[in-house]
Amino acid sequence: MFSRLANLVRARVSATLGGIRWLRGFVTVPGSISLMGIALAIVTRWLDWLWVRTFPDFGLNLSAQHGELSTLLTTIAGSTMTALSLVYSSVLVVFTLAAGNIGPRLLQRFAEDRTNQVAVGLLGATFLYCVIALYSHPSDAPGQITIGVAVLLAATCVVMLLFFVNSAARKVTVDEEIGLIGDALDAELKRAIAWSNPLSRADLARPVCGDTVMTARRSGYVNRIDFRAVAALARDHEAFVDFDIVPGSYVVPGQRIALVVGPHSEPLIGHIHGLIVYGPCRTTTEDLAFSITLLVEIALRALSPGVNDTFTAVACADRLASSLLWVRRARLNLGVYTDPAGGARVTAPHATVSELIESAFTPLRRASATNMLMCRSLVDALATLGLGVGLPGEETVRRELQLVQAEFEASTALDPDKAVIRDLVERALRHEVGRKPLPAWEG
């Protein structure tokens, strides 16, 4: 009984934290930091009062005139509000440039950037601190601590603005953004690899008992499902859960999303609903396909006739090859989740290694059929991705290389150019894909 209650509480906390992620951006973190300014003003006012009563003859009690204190706090408050408006304006400019030059789906990443959030929150906290200090400080009371903290906050704001300007400048640099997106993809892949196990859905034996169809209660994109928490609850209810959806799926009310097999399915279904986090759009959290799609989108936009920036697409292809090679080396196998005792309790239709490779390179291959520079880069990236002996996805890499050659052969390119691509593909297939061993995967 205690174990079941602990699993339920842990699951609820996990779902709540997952839902709070939608409050990220310019609300939760900046708002929390700004409210700290009010608390800090109250604390410093109390410290000024306590200092006077405890050390009435100490030098710090040579109080500044109230007019001087008011002038200083008013100046700092006005300056921080001006800087805050400039920060918001700069963020909007960065958003506009990013939406036009890199991709509109990256705006959420910029809103969640910690440097932007802390800069906005610190400026807001300084402004609120000065306003509350002006309102609450008596005209005849010393205010050395209040003034000192205000000056310290102002100096911190100046330093933070320098970091903000540096961050904003990097955000409009496409190569920097590709690297950051690749790092985020690697982080999600690392999490997925931690959940990987050699079991497959076909190997599981379901109990012969009643099953209940679980349907969606609302519409939206599935942002998060805590499969491990579901597995723990399924064990407590002696049940199995077969999901039809994964993070990134779009559902509507009444749509079947899972099949619960077990004698006590109704209470379990209610708990599972609380572990599914919905949202109006997809996120990179636990959604490997969407993380890959972000890089593919940047590459496709760069290859479009209106942009014609092949080298950006080349950077995306190289980054995708690096991340997916990591997946191949780890032999990623998702779809079955175990309870704390190691028993398989939950299944979900996750993409295989081959499907991830196809989702990344098939759109790039089709968009670069007449671009020799991009075709050469795709061959190099696929050759890198195909390194290793006996790893999953090797046949998919070989097929993609052959299709790169076939599509370029079907283009209007000159015969010498076609011969170059043909030789590169043949060399990759003969000497690199599945031929060069890699060091053992260390996790």
With cut-offs at 50, 70 and 90, classify the pLDDT of residue 422: very high
Indicate the pTM of the whole model: 0.76
Strands 256-261, 211-215: parallel, antiparallel or unpaired by DSSP? antiparallel
Mean pLDDT of 379-399: 92
CA atoms within a 13 Å half-sphere pointing along the CA-CB vector of 400: 32
Among 358, 377, 356, 360, which Cα is nearest to 368's? 377
Quick one: pLDDT at residue 131? 92
With cut-offs at 50, 70 and 90, classify the pLDDT of residue 25: low
Among 248, 259, 221, 254, which Cα is nearest to 346's? 259
Mean pLDDT of 62-72: 66
Burial class for 105, CB neighbours closer than 10 Å (0-12, 13-18, 19+): middle
With cut-offs at 50, 70 and 90, classify the pLDDT of residue 1: very low
With cut-offs at 50, 70 and 90, classify the pLDDT of residue 2: very low
Among 240, 215, 213, which Cα is nearest to 227's? 240
Q: For residue range 266-300, what is the model confidence (pLDDT) as tens digits?
A: 888 988 998 898 888 888 777 888 889 989 999 99
Q: For residue range 195-213, what is the model confidence (pLDDT) as tens digits?
A: 888 887 766 766 667 788 9
CATH second-level architecture of 2-17+201-279? Alpha-Beta Complex (3.90)
Q: For residue range 234-253, what is the model confidence (pLDDT) as tens digits?
A: 888 888 899 999 998 999 99
Distance of alpha carbon 34 from the chain centroid: 24
Instruction: Give me the percent of the chain exceeding a pLDDT of 90.
Output: 36
More confident residue, 93 or 184: 184
Q: Using CA atoms, how far apart are residues 290 and 221, in angstroms rounded to an integer?
A: 12
Strands 250-251, 240-243: parallel, antiparallel or unpaired by DSSP? unpaired
Quick one: pLDDT at residue 157? 94
For residue 54, what are the CA distances in angstroms to 51, 57, 150, 214, 329?
5, 9, 23, 66, 67
- For residue 442, pLDDT over 70 is answered with no
With cut-offs at 50, 70 and 90, classify the pLDDT of residue 257: very high
Coil, strand, or helix at residue 351? coil
More confident residue, 2 or 420: 420
Quick one: pLDDT at residue 379? 96
Instruction: List the end-to-end C-alpha distance of the chain, in Å, as a whole number.
Output: 36
- For residue 315, pLDDT over 70 is answered with yes
- For residue 159, pLDDT over 80 is answered with yes
Mean pLDDT of the chain: 83
More confident residue, 210 or 141: 210
More confident residue, 431 or 111: 431
- For residue 262, pLDDT over 80 is answered with yes
Coil, strand, or helix at residue 47? helix
